[in-house]
Amino acid sequence: MYQAIIFSSAAVISALVLLLCKKHENCRHNILKTITVIFCAVGFVRFFLSDSITYVINGGWFQGVRYEETDFFNVILRWGYYTNYAVLTTAVFTKNRFFRNMAGYFSLPFSILSAVYYEDFMNYFLDPTGMGYHLTPEFRYAFFAAELVLAIIIPIILHVGDRHVFNFKDIKEWRNYILGVPAVVLIMIPVYAIPSFFGTNNLTPQWFSPYHLIWIGSTLAIGLIIYYIFRFQSYEVRYSVCLFMVLVLFFHYNSLYLMGLTLKRLPFQLCNFAAYTFLAAFAFKWKKLFHYGFIANIVGTMFAILAPDFGVGYTGFWNVHFLLEHSYVLIVPAICMGLRVFPRLTKKSIGYYFAGFSIYIVFCYILGTILNGYQDVTGETVNYFYMFDFKIAFDYFPFLQFIEDYYFEFGRFVVYPLVFAIVYVGYSLLCMGFFLFMKWLYRYEDKVIELHHSAVDLCKKIKGRKTKLPENITE
């Protein structure tokens, strides 16, 4: 019954939008953008609702229980559908042919398949072992049906309204699609897919072990590959790639809530908050916010990458989430600046950093102090920006143990002023060092650009005609 409702609703809504906006292209585009934002919002909310797909582990321990579960079909179906959030949004908000092709010839089939196997999704959603919020079955059926309707109508309106079709005679379009689709799918792999395919173990990775070094090397390689492939492309292509990566980071972080919402998992760690920082910077083209995030988040994620807080299980949910998140937090701002979607840092960027970081750290310290003061009520303690768990801090910096002797008590609240001051000053010094490194890197890049322009001029003189080398690589 629900499948019939989904497909008929999608057909009716698509037809209405296309007919009513037949002669009003801007109206259709605005409606389509609104529908896409609603679709992403619905998907965002669904991460907070119960879903037992996280228990599909192909051999491994999770919360003290060993699982031997496989459901490859549904995991692959979920994976393909999950890419919709970034692919459809990029296709709608840009005119990139690759993402529009993928929306129509990849996302739409996966959305239709998801509707066909609607009951499989619902079995996982309604499983009482799911760790999100458990709502009534009627609501869950209607909520996911509405999401599927949106997922189906977006590519239909996009393709029919703009008369977009795959150019089968264009070899370049085939090349981009054949190489691009696997890359997009791999970059946007859901966390639960790894243990679902490969299982996990009860071992904890060690710093600078092969596991750790492979992660570091892979992160750097992916960032460099993206940069070198797209550095000379048009602004529209570079913008599309960066927007896609920002959306990947945003939805990856929020998939954390499949494991349940707790105070500890609120997005107030610096790298977690990056998912919202860069999305807001992109949505509002907010250079100041991006420059703050670029400085603060790259320093923070480099610290997390070099001294990671690994958990148990090489391919367990938490380790995979940790690895992917910090890889994205490093890659996203780096390619956004490297591909010149946002401008270089300037002296004013230091002020943007201090303004943003001061607001962030004061907020985290006040909120963390209040929540820890009520830990007897909530049953949880928080460690936002690592300012409250002294054991972890002293493991890294044992010479700072004296700071816990200086504090003020206000009823149930305890304030450690030296902790706040040392974290603020120490982290800011690291960020200023990074800023100076970036200024040096810019000088090096300017020399490379100067050599490039010299090569272009020399080719023109020798060949007597226009070179294939791009002349303007700094716009």
Q: pLDDT tens-digit profile of 16-30?
A: 999 988 888 899 999
Q: Is 51 exposed, middle or buried (0-12, 13-18, 19+ CB in 10 A)?
A: buried
Q: What local confidence, expressed as pLDDT, does residue 286 receive?
A: 95
Q: Which of 215, 194, 193 is nearest to 206 (CA)?
A: 215
| Cα–Cα distance for residue pair 81/96, rounded to 1 Å | 20
Residue 400 lies in a domain: yes
Using pLDDT thresholds of 50, 70 and 90, give the confidence band for residue 464: low
Residue 252 lies in a domain: no
Residue 48 lies in a domain: yes
Contact call for residues 242 and 344 (beta carbons, < 8 A): no
Chain-centroid distance, C-alpha 473? 27
Q: What's the number of domains the chain is made of?
A: 2
Residue 413 has pLDDT above 80, yes or no: yes
Residue 309 lies in a domain: no
Residue 157 lies in a domain: yes
| Cα–Cα distance for residue pair 280/246, rounded to 1 Å | 10
> Which residue among 165, 200, 235 closes a domain?
200
> Which residue among 169, 200, 231 closes a domain?
200
Instruction: Compute the mean pLDDT over every residue in the chain, rounded to the nearest whole number.
Output: 92
Q: pLDDT tens-digit profile of 24-53?
A: 889 999 999 999 999 999 999 999 999 999
Contacts of 113 (CB under 8 A, 6+ apart): 77, 80
Domain that holds residue 377: 353-463
Contact call for residues 341 and 239 (beta carbons, < 8 A): yes
Q: pLDDT tens-digit profile of 185-223?
A: 999 999 999 999 999 888 899 999 999 999 999 999 999
Using pLDDT thresholds of 50, 70 and 90, give the confidence band for residue 469: low
Q: What local confidence, expressed as pLDDT, does residue 152 receive?
A: 97
The full DSSP string for 43-60 is HHHHTTB--GGGG--EEE
| Cα–Cα distance for residue pair 293/280, rounded to 1 Å | 11
Using pLDDT thresholds of 50, 70 and 90, give the confidence band for residue 328: very high
Going from the C-alpha of 196 to that of each of 9, 130, 168, 311, the distances in angstroms are 33, 16, 36, 18
Which of 140-144, 185-189, 407-411 shows the lowest mean pLDDT across its residues?
A: 407-411
Q: What local confidence, expressed as pLDDT, does residue 66 receive?
A: 78
Name the pTM for this structure: 0.94
> Which residue among 200, 224, 257 closes a domain?
200
Residue 87 lies in a domain: yes
Residue 318 lies in a domain: no
Residue 303 lies in a domain: no
Q: Is 292 exposed, middle or buried (0-12, 13-18, 19+ CB in 10 A)?
A: buried
Contact call for residues 219 and 245 (beta carbons, < 8 A): no
Going from the C-alpha of 95 to that of each of 183, 210, 238, 269, 424, the distances in angstroms are 19, 41, 12, 34, 43
